[in-house]
Amino acid sequence: MEHCIIICNSTQHMLNADKILKENSIKTELIPAPAEYGSVCSTAIKIDAYNVDVAEKLLKINSVSVKGIYPYKIRKLDGLLEIINKGLNRDIKAVLEKVEKGIELTEDDIVLLLSADGDENLSSIYKAADEMRKAVVGDVVDIRAAIEFSNICRKNCLYCGLRRDNLTVDRYRMDVNEIVETAKELKQMGIKTVILQSGEDPWYTEDKIIEIIRKIKKETNMRITLSIGERTEEEYQHFREAGANNFLLKIETTNREIFKNIHPDDDFDYRVKCSQWLRGNGYINGNGNIIGLPGQTARDIARDILFFKEMGIHMVGIGPFVPAAGTPLETYPHGSVDMTLKTVAVTRLVLKNVFIPATTALATVDKEAQVKALMAGANTIMLISTPSKYRSRYRIYSNKNMVDLKTAYMAIVKAGRKLPPYINKEYIKEIV
């Protein structure tokens, strides 16, 4: 069946359009906007092509501002099989042929790729993902920066060093002015998006978070990503209205049993509902998973990837499990770098037009892994920009690699990729 996509002139018009179409029994799917029609950091509405005329009339009657309605193009990678290893496994070759032709991968296809081993097979999968990355988001690596403003958390997740019962953590909270001043420093560096990250700290009420958002917007006009955990639908709406652009809330695993085991005071369905609320409020929606959790299988990871696709996720954070001191899993081995890289690559092949970070967790387990991730489909690096007096105390896992601009620069150069043009050249001169 053929499809079309609707690109609106603002997030609010997009949300109105989606609501109007649904109310008139037109099936819609919110997806990251294809690069040729807009930024990955925007959302398109995908509909069946036979509904276009009706949809166009409905949106016009309701004064929805539409940039355009375009055919939904199947993303192919012409010539892919000619540039990958000739000696790869026959079954893997058949799956990559589907990628070449733009055929959607099934759960079994994804499991097959995630289960691959051997240098020829892995290098072919990474090469295919790198070609897809180049086709959909280009060679520039996006650089964002995180301010970890509180390490206090009301939750007791088994894997996280910030868990409520970890008495070895030296807790802290940054005040509003500290957070805003740090954001202003990032603005001088040229950073366009600041990530405000914390444990689930109830001291930061709705009003406090709104105050932080508004002050950063007023002082810097930066894009703001929130990563502050589960809140109510109304709070998500009010944060969005105050100026927050993006939200990162990771599912960690879609296996309900594993989710329950590692999140003793969380509810899987509520976590999914939160992600749906974020999507419904027009956030650029971030999600992700942890590779190497106890009991996790390749099929679990495949289902994670398909969940991200179904939810229309714009950014997928994929990192290996890294044990944290003072937690029930502190002696559990870290997740496999190879499986993490395979997940990065396959996520790129399945979701295509999304942001995928080369995560800090990868850099913690293997100093060269960020470079490897950038060569296997990743296109984003997050800097740790928490003030130095707090930085070592945000221990979500042990021996965390404090990725800074120099680390990011070196990884980008080694991967043969391009720095974003918005980074202040004076800062680059200092590290070269």
pLDDT of residue 7: 94
pLDDT of residue 35: 77
Structure tokens of 127?
């090469």
Q: Decide if 108 is inside a domain.
A: yes
CA dihedral of 48, 128, 131, 344, whole degrees rounded to 10: 80
Residues 266, 149, single domain; the answer is yes
**Could you tell me the CATH number of the domain that includes residue 23?**
3.30.70.120
3-state secondary structure of 315: strand
Q: How many domains does the chain have?
A: 3
Report how far residue 42's alpha carbon sits from residue 362's, in angstroms, rounded to the nearest whole number.
Answer: 27
- Which domain covers residue 171, as residue numbers? 142-431
Structure tokens of 138?
């280009």
Give how far Cα 7 sits from Cα of 3, 31, 66, Å. Answer: 13, 11, 6
Residues 164, 312, single domain; the answer is yes
Q: Which spans in 249-368 are helix H?
A: 256-262, 268-280, 298-310, 337-351, 360-365
Residues 13, 106, single domain; the answer is no
AA identity, residue 332: Y
Q: Decide if 132 is inside a domain.
A: no
Report how far residue 256's alpha carbon sits from residue 244's, in angstroms, rounded to the nearest whole number.
Answer: 30
Residues 53, 202, single domain; the answer is no
pLDDT of residue 430: 86
pLDDT of residue 41: 67
Structure tokens of 278?
């974020």
Give how far Cα 342 sits from Cα of 43, 251, 263, 360, 413, Å. Answer: 27, 19, 25, 17, 22
10-residue block means of pLDDT along the chain (432 residues)?
A: 90 92 94 77 90 95 95 92 89 97 98 97 97 96 98 98 97 98 98 98 98 99 98 98 98 98 97 96 97 99 98 97 97 98 99 96 94 98 97 93 94 97 93 80
Report how far residue 367's alpha carbon sits from residue 19's, in angstroms, rounded to the nearest whole number.
Answer: 46
Contacts of 342 (CB under 8 A, 6+ apart): 113, 114, 116, 122, 125
Residues 287, 196, single domain; the answer is yes
Q: Decide if 131 is inside a domain.
A: no
Helix axes 298-310, 107-114, angle to 10 degrees: 130
Give how far Cα 47 sits from Cα of 27, 332, 369, Å. Answer: 6, 45, 39
Q: Decide if 152 is inside a domain.
A: yes
Residues 197, 116, single domain; the answer is no
Residues 404, 427, single domain; the answer is yes
pLDDT of residue 355: 97
Q: Decide if 136 is inside a domain.
A: no
Whole-structure pTM over 0.85, yes or no? yes
pLDDT of residue 37: 77
pLDDT of residue 42: 83
Residues 264, 402, single domain; the answer is yes
Residues 67, 89, single domain; the answer is no
Report how far residue 328's alpha carbon sits from residue 2's, in angstroms, rounded to the nearest whole number.
Answer: 50
Asked if 34 and 353 count as a contact pair (C-beta separation under 8 A), the reply is yes
Q: Decide if 137 is inside a domain.
A: no
Residues 314, 205, single domain; the answer is yes
3-state secondary structure of 173: strand
